[in-house]
Amino acid sequence: ADPSTFYLFSIASIIFSLAVVPVLLTQSSAPNLAPLTRLPLRQLWLISPLGVAGACCAGLVNATFYGMGPVFAHDIGLSIQQTSLFMASVVLGGLFLQWPIGRLSDRLDRRVVLVVVVFTVAAACLAMAQSASHGMAWLYGIGLIYGGLSFTIYSISNAHANDHADPDKLVQTASGLLIAYGVGAIAGPMIAAFIMGQAGPHAMFYYNGTIAAGLGFFALYRMLRRPSVSSTQRLPIIVLPGGQFTAGQLYAAVRRQLDRQFGRGRQSDKE
């Protein structure tokens, strides 16, 4: 089908809408949550400056790629099929590396993992910006690395912020980080579009690389300002099988895990 028409977009929209149906048909009941208090973004910044900055930078980088990636591919002369494969390689990279990088950040200082991730993203952006002199295999391979790492920036930043947040404020923390991500996601494509109009399509990756490197230097600065969270106080990845528990049971299980983790940390601090 012609990608310039509405046909393919409508098919994708229908498939996406149908994917929501199984969720709506679930018999699980919603948990009875206590009333939530507001957590202003300014207060969240005081709790975890790196978490907020990382979420905002993730919005800047990822939304820019989603919005301007096809424009970049078109402007460097890729066909429709090549553009699709390029975008797919980046998304597949994010799919495959989310889990291992998340597990690694549970074992090491999350800031160290974030520094390695963002500087590697910056290097991948530099390589992508120079992709005109290489073949398609190079473009797809670098895209796989770029997507595999850039899509983990928000997850690591979120986990780092949760390490420093009060256990009773995790929902508010997640809400604040989404706002920070949204601000970046709104501003990123507009800034990138202007830069690409002035300097050409490859400027998109110079732009994303600069943001990633800036976040890396800020993370290094924060490592000098605040000690690492002990492994006993970090909230690990919890793997739960789907479709076997109600939402209330899952909420209670997560609450017990939080009490166990943070309760242990408080006892060790008292000792």
| AA identity, residue 14 | I
Map residue 257 onto helix, strand or coil: helix
Q: Which residues of 138-175 are buried (b: 16+ CB within 10 A; e: fewer)?
A: ebbbbbbbbbbbbbbbbbbbbbbbbbbbeeebbebbee
Question: Which residues form the domain of 93?
Answer: 48-229
Q: Greatest CA span in the chain, whole angstroms?
A: 68
Question: What pLDDT sits at residue 268?
Answer: 45
- 249 lies in a domain? no
CB count in 10 Å sphere of residue 35 = 4
- 246 lies in a domain? no
Question: What pLDDT sits at residue 243?
Answer: 42
Distance CA 145, CA 131 (A): 14
- 242 lies in a domain? no
Please state the domain count of the chain.
Answer: 1
| AA identity, residue 192 | A
Terminal CA-CA length for the chain: 68
pLDDT in tens, the chain (271 residues): 677 778 888 888 899 888 888 877 777 666 666 666 777 888 888 888 999 999 999 999 999 999 999 999 989 888 888 998 999 999 999 888 888 888 888 888 889 999 999 999 999 999 988 876 677 888 899 999 999 999 999 999 998 888 888 877 778 888 889 999 999 999 999 999 999 999 999 999 999 999 999 999 999 998 888 776 655 555 554 443 444 444 455 456 556 655 665 554 444 444 4
| DSSP category for residue 152 | T
pTM of the predicted structure, to 2 decimals = 0.76
- 248 lies in a domain? no
Residues with Cβ < 8 Å from 93, sequence gap 6 or more?
143, 144, 145, 146, 147, 148, 149, 151
- 162 lies in a domain? yes
- 238 lies in a domain? no
Report the CATH number that the domain containing residue 141 is assigned in CATH: 1.20.1250.20
- 143 lies in a domain? yes
Tell me which residue of 234, 268, 207 sits closest to 105, measured CA to CA.
Answer: 234
- 113 lies in a domain? yes
- Residue where the block lists tokens 């690694």: 104
Distance CA 153, CA 54 (A): 7
Quote the crossing angle between the two packed helices 203-225 and 110-129, to the nearest 10°.
Answer: 160
Tell me which residue of 221, 181, 202 sits closest to 61, measured CA to CA.
Answer: 181
In order of 253, 261, 271, the CA distances from 166 in angstroms are 18, 12, 20
